[in-house]
Amino acid sequence: MGRVIGHELTPTFDDQGTQYDKEGNVKDWWTKDDYTQFKSRIQQVINQYDQFTALDNLPINGAMTVGENTADIAGIAVAYDAFKTTKEGQSTTKIDGLTPDQRFFHSVAKIWKVKMKDEFLRLWIKTNPHSPPSWRVNGPLMNSIPFYNAFDVQDGDQMFLPEKDRITIW
pTM of the model: 0.86
Q: State the CATH architecture for 2-165.
A: 3-Layer(aba) Sandwich (3.40)
Summarised one tens digit per residue, pLDDT across range 51-97 is 999 888 899 999 999 999 999 999 999 999 999 999 999 999 999 99
Catalytic residues: 8, 72
Q: How many other C-beta atoms can be found within 10 angstroms of the C-beta atom of residue 100?
A: 19
Summarised one tens digit per residue, pLDDT across range 35-44 is 898 889 999 9
Residue closest to 169 by CA, chosen among 12, 1, 5: 12
Residue closest to 75 by CA, chosen among 116, 27, 130: 130
Contact assessment for residue 66 and residue 45, using Cβ atoms and an 8 Å cutoff: yes
Annotated domain spans of the chain: 2-165
